[in-house]
Amino acid sequence: MLLPACFSRPISSLRSLHWRWRGFATRRDRNNNRLSSRLLDVFLRTWDLGFTSFGGPPVHFRILHERFVQGKGGKEKWVDEQTYQELFAICQGLPGPASTKMLFCLTLLHAGFIPALLAFLLWSMPGAIGMYSLAIGVQKIGDTLPSMVYALLSGLNSSTVGIIALAAVQLAEKAIYDKLTRILVIFGACAGLCYNALWYFPLLLVIGGAVTVLWNGWMSQRIRKMELAWKRRHSSQPATDTELSTIQSIPMEEGQTVALDNTTSSQNNLIRPRNVAPRTGSLPQTSADSPNNNIEPHHQETHTVPLLTGILLTIFVF
Residue range 256-279: mean pLDDT, rounded? 44
User: What band does 92 get if pLDDT is binned at 50, 70 and 90?
Assistant: confident
Q: What is the mean pLDDT of the chain?
A: 73
Residue range 247-259: mean pLDDT, rounded? 45
What local confidence, expressed as pLDDT, does residue 6 receive? 53
Q: Give, for 257, the enclosing helix (H) or strand (E).
A: strand 256-259
For residue 54, report the phi and psi dihedrals to the nearest 5 degrees: -100, 155
Contact, 80 vs 69, CB < 8 A?
yes
- Which of the two residues, 314 and 193, has the higher pLDDT score? 193
Buried-state track 105-127, b at ≥16 Cβ within 10 A, e below 16: bbbbbbbbeebbebbbebbeebe
Res. 67: pLDDT tops 60: yes
- Give the separation between CA 88 and CA 82, rounded to whole angstroms: 10
Region for residue 195 given its phi and psi (left: phi exceeds 0; alpha: psi -120 to 50; beta: otherwise): beta
Contact, 38 vs 78, CB < 8 A?
no
User: What band does 303 get if pLDDT is binned at 50, 70 and 90?
Assistant: low
User: What band does 300 get if pLDDT is binned at 50, 70 and 90?
Assistant: low
- Which of the two residues, 242 and 101, has the higher pLDDT score? 101
pLDDT in tens, 19-63: 655 654 455 455 457 888 889 999 999 998 988 887 778 788 888
pLDDT in tens, 47-56: 989 888 877 7
What local confidence, expressed as pLDDT, does residue 123 receive? 92
Q: Give, for 180, the enclosing helix (H) or strand (E).
A: helix 179-194
What local confidence, expressed as pLDDT, does residue 287 receive? 43
Residue range 279-308: mean pLDDT, rounded? 51
pLDDT in tens, 172-195: 776 777 888 888 888 888 888 888
What local confidence, expressed as pLDDT, does residue 205 receive? 83
What local confidence, expressed as pLDDT, does residue 119 receive? 92
- Give the separation between CA 314 and CA 318, rounded to whole angstroms: 6
Q: What is the DSSP string of 122-161?
A: HHHHHHHHHHHHHHHHHTTS-SS--HHHHHHHHHHHHHHH
Radius of gyration of the chain (CA): 29
Res. 144: pLDDT tops 60: yes
Least-confidence region, from 94-103, 134-143, 263-272, 293-302: 263-272
